[in-house]
Amino acid sequence: MKAIFLSLPIALLLSSCSEFVSTGMSPSAGVSLPTGYLAAFRHAAPVREGLPHEQGFWDAEGINGPSSIRIHRSEQKAYFYKGTHIVGMSPVATGKTTHTTPGGTFKISQKSKDHKSSLYGVIRDNATGQVVNDDADTRKHKVGPGQTFENAPMPYFMRFNGGIGMHVGHLPGYAASHGCVRMPKPMAIKFFENVEVGTPVIVE
């Protein structure tokens, strides 16, 4: 089997470790569309000028050995190992300056395909459907009358350090999350399918 190379647009699926951004307007209105949590819902979300297409790689055929993952914050990439061989690579978006992804050696403690954040999300006005708080934190923000809090989805979540994990998310080309490690959907699925609870994760 040949190696799989994946070329992905910058505007990918939403995450739960970055800001929700909403204009309250439709794509046809000609406005600059969001690049955070809600970007995945807007098919016309633009690719930022000057940024390369995100790429992923997976080729584990015939390679055996214990699995491990190394996340390089300076490179914004995650590498999947079988023994000493790299069998997969994914671009990532780690935590921004105010919510850095801690370094260290950890282990996968949970896998959850349809996980949702218990802390972050959006607050939406029930009458208009518009987002009134696009970066809601349940510890700081209250839901008012006629409003609903929507927990941020974290698809293919792989927890490895407290509330921090890898999951499908939007990659703007730099560290931008609330601490989690966002990945393009195809690569998040590959990593998810191949990790087990207990798989080592090293964040450098």
Report pLDDT digits (tens) over 172-202.
Answer: 999 999 899 999 999 999 999 999 999 999 9
Residue range 4-107+161-203 forms a domain whose CATH class is mainly beta
Domain boundaries, the chain: 4-107+161-203
Report pLDDT digits (tens) over 71-120.
Answer: 999 999 999 999 999 999 999 999 999 989 999 999 999 999 998 877 67
| SS3 category, 96 | coil
Other C-beta atoms closer than 10 Å to the C-beta of 70 total 17
Q: How confident is the prediction for the chain on average, in pLDDT?
A: 76
**Binning pLDDT at 50, 70 and 90, where does residue 17 land?**
low
Find out whether 136 and 38 touch, Cβ atoms under 8 Å: no
First vs last C-alpha separation in the chain: 31
pTM: 0.69
For range 35-49, the mean pLDDT? 35
Two tokens at 200? 């080592």
The dihedral sign for the CA sequence 102, 105, 108, 113: positive
- What's the pLDDT at 91? 95
- What's the pLDDT at 16? 39
What is the signed CA dihedral for 72, 75, 76, 81, rounded to 10 degrees? -50
Question: Which residue did the predictor score with more confidence, 120 or 35?
Answer: 120
